[in-house]
Structure 1
């Protein structure tokens, strides 16, 4: 059966309309006394259809404010989980992430990795949540703004009596006109009073509709537009086309920044380490060398000729020269070059190390290690150190030490230490001259398992001879920042419109000398009552703000 939705005023309303879009007559419970639900002006919304197909059901789900709130809460929880342990993008080089998280953080770290939280912000589920939030914003906005716009454009000046009487601000009284004054003349006088208060007034005989600040109704939807742009920009940041990954540049060399016309030169690299005495007891016990600071003198170039011909040396134009340090990037026209990591490359030639007691830190003596041609036996004080294993380019695979090449990029020694106070067969001790990230924690575990009471470390940084370094730069092209700022600005405009301006409407009609007036606003009811009271008093109708409250409904 087809439902008849045509109002007595002649306007054909969509199915589901609560208040007539033209005259405001309630479509159900016309003679009721409850205040009218004025949210979205009682218009019909697609999400409230009674008979829904699968598209309507998806639409209703996404248009729900509760669903949007839950999506935001789940996203916030997911984002917070990503801050518990380091994300995978902070690691440089080849590293077994599954083993790293389990070794460093135990069972929680293993679970963290298995759940994919090591790449939280780049994961499909996190980006999917952002897409769902964006879709919810779009559907919520369309579900409300289009019907609301239609209702506000089709407002009838002479509203139905029940519509005016069931407003939160409403008053009815017999109008006492001056001698010879008509109802239309009084209405025109009242119109001028409202215009002085910046209302836009539409009059039809002895009825009028006055409103101001209608634009504030669009504030939430403008805010949604800004948030949608913001979310799209955040998603675009995760695309490789918008962000360059790590770029290694060897000292004294020039390398191209992938996907760009820019080149980066590593002119000089400097690093400063903490001396042994500056370290905390825990770091001394673990025999770690810690960087105090490191920086690179870098030059940024732009290719101007032979850029796409690998057989010809490109012609470069110098753009900017700057010393880059941690949290001190080189920036140029949206390009940011951050220094995040470094490696010694290759050759470690000679190192003077100290043999110490791990518990007390007592220095037993020094040993000079020739990295190219190490001796078989070293004598330090009363102890003998036999080299039973040498790994020029150490790594850790399947629970054992291996060497990746013959080049001494990251040398490691396995000593059998014999001497007073030790077991007859001695103690095994692993010494990595400069432990790299992916094997540093294995060194500690191996020595703990062997029960070694010793610690071996570099005597001083001047005794560590290294030919050159490779600096790892993280290069970002902030192409998304204009979109992020645009979205944030639009969102802020929407918030300001909604917070500081309030849509106010006044409906009035005179029937056989009886004045019926009502008003509605989405905020600040006290303000509109005071404003209407002042206008009525000047027009000769004595009221106070309290009498404008709808007494029938106890407001």
Structure 2
């Protein structure tokens, strides 16, 4: 059976309405004298109506404040779990190491399972982002469920309210003010009362012997402005997951080698790293006694490139866009990209060698080739000979059976195996092994291996100073970009504005009507009842009605 929600004034209300949207009469089955529930002016909210569909149930669940508190609580617990151990994006060159082993070595068995359960990547995980989406959805539904009925109620306020609506306000007063039946005197009294309320900043609307005085209605939108700010804030947080929108990584940059910056089109080259130390005279005595060397300044001479094509490949097309020295607290800045000096390490590493191909017997030189230790070419032509790269071992070693293996993916002991073809050689050419480091040549017997393979050549550098490029330092840099920062700040600012509006202003309304010489007055506010009582008492006193703020509390009746 559908309940009858039509008021005696003739207005048809929505199901679930507590007070008539037109005259304000309480729509109760049992008469009462208790103060009215004025939340949303008694207008029906969708979440309070009869649940007929799944959508209605979902809407009611999402619009519940209790639901929002539970979701926020679970999110806070999840966020705290992510703070127990360092997140993976704070680990230098995380993509190049075994993270499971890293967490086991640094944080024990608990850290190992912490990583396996995904807590080491909490803030980028699907479930954490899902919780943020739930919070945002709940905010949207909560706001729509409340703001639409409230707007409808406040935008269509009737000046002459039902007597029960007026007398059951928390602040109310009833008493004679004019002679019975003298409507002209009553209207004059209402106009004079309206002047008193205008002096206090109220907007006054008069309908004969009825009056509505209202001020600071905008303060009712404070909580919803908060919600808008929070929604923008959450959307900005979710946008940080878009590639290139947010990054805070610690990367290693070896001297002399452009290195790609993840999630961007940029490469950064540590052209040269330099460090200066404090003199003994500048150091504290405790450091001098321990014989410590204390860095005074370390600097990375950086070049930033933009990749035009072949990005991520062996030979990207790079164009220089910015050049700057990076020192502590003075980052490189370019179009929202920030690169901070974080740390350094002395890690000598060969970048390239330029050996000369010679005939071992005659010493005849055929030419020089350049071998990169990161991306060597597939073939080289030296004089009449062609050198085809068959195998490359960045970190050469031998397994238990004596077969060549690559121990690491770092060029710590570079070894090249070539197939050389040309005049005076067998039809298929000869194999030739070349070690970039002199120590490896002697350790593995490069000359003996090549003679056994039938190679009549020698590959050797003429000068270690001019023919070998060595990077002595690795610069650890903190690379940051935060395109979501502006919307985050906008959302936070809107939230603060909502808090200020809701804190420092209160929505105050006063209704009064005179019937047969008897004044009935009711007033409501969403906070600061003492201030409202004081204003109403002053307005009544200046209109000829002697009263006190205390006597206005429910018309002087005890609760």
Same fold (TM > 0.5): yes
Specify which of 115, 118, 127 is matched with residue 117 of structure 2.
115
Structure 1 CA distance, aligned partners of 2:500 and 2:231? 17
Specify which of 190, 194, 204 is matched with residue 191 of structure 1.
194
- Name the structure 1 match of 2:219: 216
Give unpaired runs (5+ residues) of structure 1: 349-390, 395-400, 411-465
Q: Count matched residues.
A: 438
Q: Would you say 1:521 and 2:525 are equivalent positions? A: yes
Report the CA distance between 1:476 and its aligned residue. Answer: 2.8
Specify which of 531, 534, 537 is matched with residue 530 of structure 1.
534
Q: Would you say 1:16 and 2:20 are equivalent positions? A: no
- Name the structure 2 match of 1:203: 206
CA contact (8 A) 1:21 1:151 kept: yes
Specify which of 133, 139, 142 is matched with residue 135 of structure 2.
133
Structure 1 segment 489-504 matched on structure 2, within 5 A? 489-504=493-508
- Name the structure 1 match of 2:245: 242
CA contact (8 A) 1:266 1:296 kept: no
- 1:257-277, Cα deviation, whole Å (9 max, x unpaired): 466565533232246899xxx
- Name the structure 1 match of 2:52: 52
Structure 1 CA distance, aligned partners of 2:535 and 2:395? 86
Report the CA distance between 1:309 and its aligned residue. Answer: 7.6
Q: Would you say 1:165 and 2:167 are equivalent positions? A: yes
Residue 55 of structure 1 aligns to a residue whose secondary structure is helix
Specify which of 505, 511, 530 is matched with residue 507 of structure 1.
511
Structure 1 CA distance, aligned partners of 2:500 and 2:86? 38
CA contact (8 A) 1:63 1:136 kept: yes
Report the CA distance between 1:42 and its aligned residue. Answer: 1.0
CA contact (8 A) 1:172 1:514 kept: yes
Q: Would you say 1:488 and 2:492 are equivalent positions? A: yes
Residue 298 of structure 1 aligns to a residue whose secondary structure is strand
- Name the structure 2 match of 1:182: 185
- Name the structure 2 match of 1:438: none
CA RMSD of aligned residues (A): 3.5
CA contact (8 A) 1:336 1:477 kept: yes
CA contact (8 A) 1:331 1:337 kept: yes
Q: TM-score, normalised by structure 1?
A: 0.71
CA contact (8 A) 1:248 1:472 kept: yes
Structure 2 CA distance, aligned partners of 1:509 and 1:25? 15
- Name the structure 2 match of 1:540: 544
Q: 1:487 to 1:180 in 2, by over 3 A?
A: closer
Q: 1:246 to 1:61 in 2, by over 3 A?
A: same
Structure 1 CA distance, aligned partners of 2:300 and 2:269? 8
Q: TM-score, normalised by structure 2?
A: 0.71
Q: Which of these two proteins has the greater Rg computed from alpha carbons?
A: 2
Specify which of 298, 316, 333 is matched with residue 301 of structure 2.
298
Q: 1:529 to 1:290 in 2, by over 3 A?
A: farther
Q: Would you say 1:25 and 2:28 are equivalent positions? A: no
Q: Which moved more, 1:245-254 or 1:85-94?
A: 245-254
CA contact (8 A) 1:249 1:255 kept: yes
Report the CA distance between 1:88 and its aligned residue. Answer: 1.0
Q: 1:239 to 1:296 in 2, by over 3 A?
A: farther
Structure 2 CA distance, aligned partners of 1:27 and 1:11? 12
Structure 1 segment 203-352 matched on structure 2, within 5 A? 203-244=206-247, 248-255=252-259, 257=261, 262-270=266-274, 295-301=298-304, 307-308=308-309, 314-318=318-322, 321-325=324-328, 328-340=330-342, 344-347=347-350
CA contact (8 A) 2:305 2:318 kept: no
Give unpaired runs (5+ residues) of structure 2: 279-283, 352-393, 398-404, 415-469
Structure 2 CA distance, aligned partners of 1:132 and 1:476? 28
Structure 2 CA distance, aligned partners of 1:201 and 1:173? 21
Structure 1 CA distance, aligned partners of 2:74 and 2:264? 37
- Name the structure 1 match of 2:42: 42
CA contact (8 A) 2:277 2:296 kept: yes
CA contact (8 A) 1:346 1:468 kept: yes
Q: Would you say 1:96 and 2:98 are equivalent positions? A: yes
Structure 1 CA distance, aligned partners of 2:294 and 2:124? 30
Structure 1 segment 466-485 matched on structure 2, within 5 A? 467-485=471-489
CA contact (8 A) 1:169 1:549 kept: yes
Report the CA distance between 1:347 and its aligned residue. Answer: 4.5
